[in-house]
Structure 1
Amino acid sequence: MTTPEFDLEAAAAAVEAVAAAVTDADLDRPTPALPTVRDMLAHVLGFTEGFRQGATKEAIGSSQPPAPAALPGDWRDRIPAQLKSLVAAWREPHAWEGETEVGGVLAPATQMALFALDELVVHGWDLARATGQPYAPADRDLAVLLGFLRDTPREGIPGLFGPVVEVPAEAPLLDRVVGLTGRDPAWTAPRS
């Protein structure tokens, strides 16, 4: 049995807290990555279920690339529930073994777990920035992601990350992580 390399609970809890504070008035606000908060929340629903299925291996041979989806009316209940299911699925030792498939991509399970952590931390940041909320993911999660993302090519990785935004080496861990995913750590939502 493989021992999980890290736990997703802190990152999931941070996303849950940010999502819980999103108001209906926030839904049409822009985000650093997707057109609106509404779109980002729909993406959160999609990736949490996709990576949960990646942990259980139930989607091997049948997963699909992510596609835009409408935000369902029950998103305020579904996001916390799906985050908890995602965390629980990746706590199972077999989740970390062999290969799995998420979004139509087959890769080592350990790599998919890293992508799940990246999705949680970075999209939590996207939502927090878009809605003007504080956001402080766990340093241990940020250190894992910095190691994972450190070799991202300057031009980014099409379909995953935009071109790297240069951030000073002494900048906070969160700024360095989001810069490696093609986001400007100084991004703020435009005023209405």
Structure 2
Amino acid sequence: MSDIATRYRTRADIFAAKIAAVEPGRWSDPSPCEEWTARDVVGHIIDMHAVMLRPLGRSLSPAPSVAQDPLAAFTAARADVEALLDDPATAERKVETPTGNVSVEQHIDQVVSADMVLHGWDLSRATGQDDTIDPAEVEAMWPHVQYIPDEMRIPGAFGPGVVVLGPEVEVPDDAPLQHRLLGLFGRDPNWSA
């Protein structure tokens, strides 16, 4: 199994555990993502799994909707992406993406896999769970997030209705690294509903 596949599985395990820990009455709670509820955060992650399949002419397998069963919906979407990663010929296949021509596994790693880390924080924050991001993840993301291109913060730059990142949130230089990371991603580390 490649490092990318292992990393994806680790992140998916953590995200699935966060979904499983949401108390039933909290799915409509607001999240740090403007206009999204906790359920919408999970729905976005499932939608991004579908985006990983699209360049291959595939779509998500039939599954319960996120409205019916968020965990089952995520588990099914996850299985579809893991099938891509488990087939070396597919994982290494080059596909055209908004950021250029990359392998399927690189696309997964750069988009939906990394998305689960940040949106895992959103889901945790929305539903009152421990929102600590693995410090190794924070350390690994830190060098890259400092060079986010301005177009990533422009609503609609990657298509109608697509918002990749919000404006940077100012965080003190001496704040914990996780807080500084979240600020660069357009999150207020002290957000509360």
Q: TM-score, normalised by structure 2?
A: 0.72
Unaligned runs of 5+ in 1: 54-58, 65-69
Partner amino acid for 2:145?
Answer: L
What is residue 11 of structure 2 aligned with on the other side? 11
Partner amino acid for 1:28?
Answer: S
Equivalent-residue separation in structure 2 for 1:79 and 1:98 (angstroms): 24
* CA distance 1:73–1:174, shift in 2 (3 Å): same
What is residue 135 of structure 1 aligned with on the other side? 131
Q: Does 1:186 align with 2:190?
A: yes
Q: Does 1:77 align with 2:72?
A: yes
Q: Does 1:100 align with 2:101?
A: no
Tell me the SS of whatever aligns to 1:39: helix
Identify the structure with the greater helix proportion. Answer: 2
Equivalent-residue separation in structure 2 for 1:71 and 1:184 (angstroms): 26
Equivalent-residue separation in structure 2 for 1:35 and 1:117 (angstroms): 20
Alignment of structure 1 residues 11-160 onto 2, 5 Å: 11-33=11-33, 34-51=35-52, 53=53, 59-60=54-55, 71-83=66-78, 85-87=80-82, 89-90=84-85, 97=92, 99-101=94-96, 106-109=100-103, 110=106, 112-153=108-149, 157-158=153-154, 159-160=163-164
Structure 1, residues 33-67: CA drift from partner, whole Å, max 9, x if none? 1421121121122123333x2xxxxx227589xxx
> How big is the shift at 1:153?
4.7
Q: RMSD between aligned alpha carbons?
A: 3.2
Tell me the SS of whatever aligns to 1:8: helix
Residues paired across the two proteins, number = 176
What is residue 173 of structure 1 aligned with on the other side? 177
Equivalent-residue separation in structure 2 for 1:186 and 1:63 (angstroms): 39
Unaligned runs of 5+ in 2: 60-64, 155-162
Structure 1, residues 118-157: CA drift from partner, whole Å, max 9, x if none? 3101111101000110033333322232222111257852
Partner amino acid for 1:162?
Answer: G
Partner amino acid for 2:18?
Answer: V
Partner amino acid for 2:38?
Answer: V
Structure 1, residues 69-108: CA drift from partner, whole Å, max 9, x if none? x733132222234335535644655566464356x77542
* CA distance 1:132–1:74, shift in 2 (3 Å): closer
Identity of aligned residues (%): 27
> How big is the shift at 1:112?
4.9
Partner amino acid for 1:29?
Answer: D
